[in-house]
């Protein structure tokens, strides 16, 4: 065992006594060197996604000490960049294990540093945090969440004054501040309830939440002449996360009357007992919801992830079974709906813009072009979409933005927040579904129509898990191998390779490779910025679905063998 690891372990045994769960874990760790190594071989990485890791004891874990250290680094950054009167931060948290405690610990650090804290009085979605940062004119914001990860994870997202996740430059500067600190001696905290009494910590007023809901409702694409059936049968699952209150409030205030909530997944629960991987991208997480949909004869199932920034759907098909739509499929349906409705209602701006990530279906660009909408492609991560919205606002043309989408079930139709918003997504999906139903069109029929008009496009995403120190090194090795000569994937010749490692097309530097293949196909490979995974995105254009499925199967089989 590395001497530095055992030295750190002994220090934590002596100093990390505040959390009884950690004390017990450290005792058990003494007889498990691999566990100890993984917990202490590095410090939990801080980047543009903030922190994310397994909950537990150690420098490579999410716990009150790593949260406090990161918060002190962020506090130093705020003090360095903002005058005293502008030092205020918004805080929110989701349903995950220890989320509320981590939010309180962070607030205690900010308060003792003279940074006024505005914290939601109960758990709230990520988009509500982004909204509060801008609404309350905060210097920054934090959201305690691990998004859609399994229950053993938690995380800490950092937002700038623009309501967008921090830039690479800001993350580097905050990391620099964090690295100066000793995790036990360089941290101060003010008791949370003492901070409340002193006025350094305040609860965010209900009016902010109401203003957020009103902003979502304002995204409706209907006008006074549009009548839609608001009694359509809808099943909704918040997957034991934060979506229950805002999604139901938004839909009910908009007149929807026939919503059934999946009882087992209704209340916040960080253990996610019926969906161990609480991600609407995953069929297993949607299984219970589909059973409810069948039982209650609902035509639409909607589910949001724990921090309610991703939304997935299933729709009933001709055979009475339920089909899960991919993030790309839902995205192109929403894009076409928004564009067509704006054209019909005369609300299309003069120079409309749609923003998508480079791994999101290129079919979206063809739809946008049809409606005269400009497409901006950005790196993977909705923060880059938010960044573009901010640039448009700075140039006085924020109204030109009409939609942003990413294949990982993230959508945003307005500039009121700067991150993906599943409340907005759920609201627009219900409206779109009801609007087409009033015209005897199902979402599957509409999707088929889009494929007839723009050509069929199959987009898939595959994740390969590489946990721990060995896994991290393996991912780096694999990326280097991909950067060596690669002539073909699944029989499709490589026409070009776009390497974003040093920046490309005006985008930031990122460890991403995009292989452009013949016949309008592509493969993108990148390590996840928030999970110990290597992600592969495949796009296949073909005359019909069967052909595309066969080509995609050949490509992924070759990649799996390669890995």
Q: Which residues are annotated as catalytic?
A: 147
Residue labelled with tokens 């299984």: 287
Q: Which one-letter DSSP state was computed for residue 191?
A: -
The one-character DSSP state at 165 is B
Would you give the DSSP letter of residue 86?
G
Q: In what order do the strands lie in the sheet with 322-324?
A: 259-261, 234-237, 300-304, 311-316, 322-324
Distance separating alpha carbons of residues 384 and 209, to the nearest angstrom: 25
How far is 95 from 145, CA to CA, in rounded Å? 8
What are the structure tokens assigned to 318, written together?
């001709």
Residue with tokens 């305040």: 202
| DSSP characters over 73-107 | HHHHHHHHHS-GGG-EEEEEE-SSTTHHHHHHHHH
> Hey, what are 321's tokens?
């079974």
Question: Which DSSP letter does residue 554 get?
Answer: H
C-alpha–C-alpha distance, residues 436 and 449, integer Å: 13
Distance in angstroms (rounded) separating the CA atoms of residues 462 and 316: 25
Provide CB contacts within 8 A for 85, sequence distance 6+: none
Angle between helices 327-345 and 422-437 (to 10 degrees): 70
118 closest CA partner among 199, 188, 216 = 199
Where are the strands (E) in 38-124, listed by range? 51-54, 88-93, 116-119
Distance between alpha carbon 436 and the CA centroid of its chain, in Å?
A: 28
Tokens 């839902």 sit on residue:
330
For residues 219 and 217, give the distance between their C-alpha atoms in angstroms, rounded to a whole number: 5
Q: Between the CA of residue 253 and those of 125, 148, 159, 239, 427, what are the distances in Å?
A: 18, 27, 29, 22, 11
Element at 349 (helix H, strand E): none
Angle, CA of 175, 181 and 187, to the nearest 5°: 115
Sequence-separated (6 or more) residues with CB below 8 Å from residue 489: 515, 517, 521, 523, 555, 558, 559
Question: What is the phi/psi pair of residue 375, to 5°?
Answer: -105, 135
Closest by alpha carbon to 475, among 485, 466, 462, 463?
A: 466
Tokens for 215? 């902003």
Question: Of the candidates 124, 150, 153, which has an alpha carbon nearest to the alpha carbon of residue 142?
Answer: 124
Measured CA to CA, the distance from residue 510 to residue 529 in angstroms comes to 10
């Amino acid at each position: 065992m590395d001497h530095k690891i055992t030295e750190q372990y002994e220090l934590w045994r002596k100093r990390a006594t505040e959390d009884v769960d950690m004390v017990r874990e450290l005792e058990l760790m003494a007889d498990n060197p691999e566990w100890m190594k993984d917990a202490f071989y590095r410090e939990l990485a801080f980047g543009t996604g903030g922190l994310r890791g397994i909950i537990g004891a150690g420098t490579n874990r999410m716990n009150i000490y790593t949260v406090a250290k990161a918060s002190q680094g962020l506090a130093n950054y705020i003090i360095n960049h903002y005058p005293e009167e502008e030092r205020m931060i918004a805080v929110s948290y989701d349903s995950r294990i220890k989320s509320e405690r981590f939010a309180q610990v962070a607030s205690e650090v900010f308060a003792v540093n003279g940074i006024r804290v505005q914290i939601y009085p109960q758990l709230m979605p990520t988009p509500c945090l982004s909204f509060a940062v801008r609404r309350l004119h905060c210097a920054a914001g934090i959201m305690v969440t691990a998004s859609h990860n399994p229950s053993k994870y938690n995380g800490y997202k950092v937002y700038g004054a623009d309501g967008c996740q921090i830039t690479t430059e800001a993350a580097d500067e905050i990391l620099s501040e964090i690295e100066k600190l000793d995790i036990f001696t360089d941290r101060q905290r003010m008791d949370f309830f003492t901070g409340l009494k002193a006025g350094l910590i305040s609860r965010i007023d209900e009016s902010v939440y109401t203003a957020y809901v009103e902003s979502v409702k304002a995204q409706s694409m209907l006008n006074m002449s549009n009548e839609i059936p608001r009694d359509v049968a809808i099943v909704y699952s918040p997957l034991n996360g934060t979506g229950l209150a805002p999604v139901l409030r938004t839909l009910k205030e908009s007149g929807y009357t026939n919503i059934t909530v999946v009882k087992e997944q209704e209340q916040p629960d960080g253990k996610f007992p019926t969906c161990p991987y609480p991600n609407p991208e995953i069929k297993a997480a949607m299984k219970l919801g589909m059973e409810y949909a069948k039982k209650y004869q609902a035509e639409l199932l909607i589910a949001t992830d724990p921090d309610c920034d991703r939304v997935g759907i299933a729709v009933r098909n001709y055979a009475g079974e339920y089909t899960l739509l991919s993030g790309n499929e839902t995205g192109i349906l929403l894009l076409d709906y928004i564009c067509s409705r704006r054209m019909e209602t005369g609300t299309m701006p003069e120079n409309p813009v749609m923003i998508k990530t480079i791994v999101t279906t290129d079919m979206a660009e063809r739809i946008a072009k049809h409606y005269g909408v400009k497409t901006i492609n950005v790196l993977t991560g909705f923060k880059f979409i938010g960044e573009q919205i901010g640039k448009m606002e700075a140039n006085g043309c924020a109204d030109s933005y009409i939609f942003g989408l990413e294949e990982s079930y993230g959508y945003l139709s307005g500039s009121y927040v700067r991150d993906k918003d599943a409340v907005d997504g759920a609201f627009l999906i219900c409206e779109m579904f009801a609007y087409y139903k009033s015209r005897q069109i199902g979402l599957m029929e509409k999707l088929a129509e889009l494929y007839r008009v723009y050509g069929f496009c199959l987009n898939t995403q595959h994740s390969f898990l590489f946990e721990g120190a060995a896994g991290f090194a393996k991912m780096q090795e694999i990326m280097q191998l991909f950067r060596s000569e690669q002539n073909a994937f699944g029989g499709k010749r490589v026409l070009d390779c776009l390497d974003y490692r040093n920046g490309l097309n005006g985008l930031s530097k990122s460890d991403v490779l995009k292989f452009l293949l013949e016949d309008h196909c592509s493969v993108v490979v990148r390590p996840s910025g928030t999970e110990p995974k290597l992600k592969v995105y495949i796009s296949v254009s073909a005359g019909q679905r069967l052909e595309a499925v066969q080509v995609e199967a050949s490509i992924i089989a070759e990649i799996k063998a390669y890995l």
